Structure 1
Amino acid sequence: MLGKGLRADPDFLKLWVGQAISQIGSNITGVGLPLTAVVVLRASPLQMGFLAGASAAPVLVLGLFAGAWADRLRRRPLLIAADLGRAAVLGTIPLLAVLHRLTIEHLYVVAAASGILTVLFDVSYQAYLPSLIARENILEGNSKLASTESLAEIAGPGFTGILVQLITAPMAMLFDAASFVCSAISLWLIRKPEPRPTRPLEPSIGREISEGLRASWRNPLLRALVGRTATGAFFLGFGSSLYFLFVMRELGLTAALLGIIVSVGGTCGLFGTFMAEWLVHRFGFGATFIGSVLVIGVAMLLVPLAHGSVAVCSAFLIVSQMGDLAWPVYNINDRSLRQAITPDHLLGRVNAAIHLVYHGALPLGALTGGAVAQAIGIRQTLLIGALGFLLSTLWLVFSPARRLRELPHAVDETRV
């Protein structure tokens, strides 16, 4: 299997194809759901805020529970159920639109229900991969899956725009529902048996969640991942809340020019997925992992440093967007390290802890960044955010990750 890689593994190919279709569908929903609210239901800014909150809240409220369920049960049936559930939930939007009964409250429910199922899918999905392929192929598997995610991010919005133009935003959601059915079928066709999960003698959801959190902090490598994720996401939130405001109001760029600049980042991200595995083989895991965070931080610094004419500012921003080349390198290595070192019976809960930390710190950073910008200015706040993100690298520098040449193996510290 190693000679030809995962392209010769029929079960991985089924997963890969199914996820490629599903990712394109998910991008349709990412654009189509807010467009349905704005164009069809004439939603107010406050209602749009509620809609965004309904999508994000499940990660914070149910993320840790999803991780515990993913460790209690076989993960493939969970993935299939989550896909079919999302297909059913999203399918109600075009149905109610045809019946002229679609309301903004219904979109809140769809966003929340879809968010819950997505949390369950994502946590289970990242825990399922190591049981489907050999651990030495994890880096390759994550690289291939990330490449299709990047392609979907590039193709999805344009495809969605065409669909919305031709058949309206609510009807475009049918394609996402169908994509989840395709993903469920691809998972159902996988024939490799999944190991039976280890069930605790005295099941307790609270104790199991606590065990996952302790494992995430006790292992020095996992602790470094959690710390870097929390710190990095917090300072990344500074830019997420201020970037577009800074670029258009203070630098004077048009929306069209900004769209072109952002598309450069998407294209560079795609190339990054193809380079991740080669970089690890060439420079070693630790150097590649830490180097990717440093490249992202330096690229972020270029945004507040942009000055001068629109052309000069655009050049700064384009070079900054090229830093997106490092994002998939970081994400692939982060996910692969987590999967490689976490014992299988804890992997769902550890994934959930990382999800919770990221999705909790990012909006907190966005709120903090907005308050700081109100006091000292947008450019200065973006500079603080970039420097803070760079400093988050210290979690990895002062951890065993720095010395890694290749992925290590799991050590079950909870059972020693």
Structure 2
Amino acid sequence: MMGGIFRNRDFRHFWMADAISQVGTRVGGIAISLLAVITLHASTFEVSVLRTLQTLAYLLIGLQAGAWCDRMRNRPVMMVADVGRAIALGSIPLAAAFGVLTIWQVYAAVFVAGVLTVFFDVAHQSFLPRLVPKADLIEGNAKLKFSTSAAALAGPGLGGLLVQWLTAPVAVLVDAVSYLWSAAWLRTVRTVEVLSPERRDSTLREQIREGLHLVLRHPVLRAIAFNNMVSAFFSSAYIAISTLFLVRVIGLSAGIVGLLGSLGLIGALLGAMLARRLSAKVGAARLLVSVAVVQGLAYLLFPLTGPGWQLAWYVVGGILTSTCVIIVIVVQVSFQQTLCPDHLLGRMNATMNFLYWGAAPLGSLLAGVLASGVGLRPMLWVTAGGMLLAAVPLLASPLRTMVELPTGEPDPAEPTNQ
């Protein structure tokens, strides 16, 4: 574990900040959904609104956050966001302890946490290139996604069990504490960030436009952005109704719902372990396109889920989709970080996040509206078809004839904190 990029002290601390926080986030994600469904008896539409509010901030302030983050050092932004999220989500178990928790407070808490997450994610993605050389970005992103995958594997099962044994508010408290853990580790990172020299007389609108132009005018970045946008729309629609489907259609308990999520996400670990090897073996561009197609096909397994042995469809679908999504993210993010000039990292990441997460609340709302009319299982078929469509922008781009992704400028000076 201490070989390779882990010899970089600051990367180790950055990774530690991320690792436990990821577990807490996964615990909190399943806990808040189960809190709404089981404790607050939320309707299908109310659950979809909850999912919408978790990601709505990307649509509202996503582009502005990128320009602001390019003007600031990333580490303090992440630390403030972590503490703020701990306070926002910590209000849920506090209200529950006094017996005054309502769906409206949950809505407010997840929205505030979502706003802070916008800033954290932009800063997080922009910080790694300042810690490690560009040649190590694929390894660094793979290591971070491995911990994300491990959290995705352990988190839902742990969250479901905590809800079943200790109640949903306690599980949400675990998520809040994990953000404090992250802030404490980030505080120990020593790398001094140097803000890139840039015109300070440019307006916020002009700076946002620079990020948009970089993404939308580059044929590969544009294809990746539209693939992300369509994927986010339909995957968010799936996430918004999947817990309801398993609880109300299949009749599963909170513990089993969490366990199934964990079993399916074994693939995320596989994806994190295989991303670098497969990229080197078959070529990053070829890998990106082929895996995006397989991911869409795997979503067709979810609507086949039923009681008994038919739960296997859900597990197999989860393994395949989670393997694919991690491989896609590692390749995409590493390419974006390599290509983008340092002074535009925040805006480039914000533009990508805006297109991805901006589509997410729309997908969640669509799922709530349509599922209320046509039913949960038919809506799963709709999401599966949409995930297949997500591969079209990649297939229609120069990526279909490429083996490797293009690279950016030569790597700047190596970081000194090793």
TM-score exceeds 0.5: yes
Query: Cα 1:22–1:212, aligned 2, differ >3 Å: closer, same or farther?
Result: same
Higher RCO structure, 1 or 2 (CA under 8 Å, sep 6+): 2
Q: Distance in 2 between matches of 1:395 and 1:371?
A: 27
The equivalent of 1:390 in structure 2 is 388
The equivalent of 2:414 in structure 1 is none
For residue 214 of structure 1, report the CA deviation from its aligned partner: 1.4
Amino acid at match of 1:283: V
Query: Cα 1:410–1:298, aligned 2, differ >3 Å: closer, same or farther?
Result: farther
For residue 370 of structure 1, report the CA deviation from its aligned partner: 7.5
CA contact (8 A) 1:147 1:273 kept: yes
CA contact (8 A) 1:280 1:406 kept: no
Structure 2 residue matching 1:157: 3-state secondary structure: helix
CA contact (8 A) 2:214 2:348 kept: yes
The equivalent of 1:414 in structure 2 is none
- Which is higher, the Rg of structure 1 or of structure 2? 1
CA contact (8 A) 2:73 2:195 kept: yes
Query: Cα 1:294–1:88, aligned 2, differ >3 Å: closer, same or farther?
Result: same
For residue 166 of structure 1, report the CA deviation from its aligned partner: 5.3
Q: Distance in 2 between matches of 1:378 and 1:162?
A: 25
Query: Cα 1:390–1:405, aligned 2, differ >3 Å: closer, same or farther?
Result: same
Identify the match of residue 328 of structure 2 among 319, 330, 349.
330
Q: Distance in 1 between matches of 2:377 and 2:98?
A: 49
Structure 2 residue matching 1:255: 3-state secondary structure: coil
Amino acid at match of 2:158: F
The equivalent of 2:216 in structure 1 is 217
Q: Distance in 1 between matches of 2:237 and 2:24?
A: 29
Structure 1 residue matching 2:265: 3-state secondary structure: helix
Identity, in percent, stands at: 36
Query: Cα 1:300–1:65, aligned 2, differ >3 Å: closer, same or farther?
Result: same
Deviates more, 1:141-150 or 1:342-351: 342-351
For residue 16 of structure 1, report the CA deviation from its aligned partner: 0.6
For residue 121 of structure 1, report the CA deviation from its aligned partner: 0.2
CA contact (8 A) 1:285 1:407 kept: no
CA contact (8 A) 2:78 2:183 kept: yes
Identify the match of residue 252 of structure 2 among 219, 232, 255.
255
For residue 172 of structure 1, report the CA deviation from its aligned partner: 3.9
The equivalent of 1:297 in structure 2 is 296
Q: Would you say how many aligned residue pairs link Structure 1 and Structure 2?
A: 405
Give per-residue Cα distances to partners, 1:188-211, cap 9 Å, x unaligned.
111122121334331422221122
Identify the match of residue 340 of structure 1 among 333, 338, 341.
338
Q: Distance in 2 between matches of 1:379 and 1:161?
A: 22
Superposition pairs of residues 146-157 of structure 1, within 5 angstroms: 146-157=145-156
Q: Distance in 2 between matches of 1:208 and 1:299?
A: 39
Q: Distance in 2 between matches of 1:30 and 1:192?
A: 32
Q: Distance in 2 between matches of 1:385 and 1:32?
A: 23
For residue 286 of structure 1, report the CA deviation from its aligned partner: 1.0
The equivalent of 2:58 in structure 1 is 59
Query: Cα 1:96–1:299, aligned 2, differ >3 Å: closer, same or farther?
Result: closer
Is 2:185 the partner of 1:186?
yes
CA contact (8 A) 1:83 1:184 kept: yes
Identify the match of residue 320 of structure 1 among 296, 317, 320.
317
CA contact (8 A) 1:24 1:152 kept: yes
Deviates more, 1:142-151 or 1:396-405: 396-405
Q: What's the TM-score, normalizing by structure 1?
A: 0.83
Unpaired segments ≥5 residues, structure 2: 411-418
Deviates more, 1:371-380 or 1:236-245: 371-380
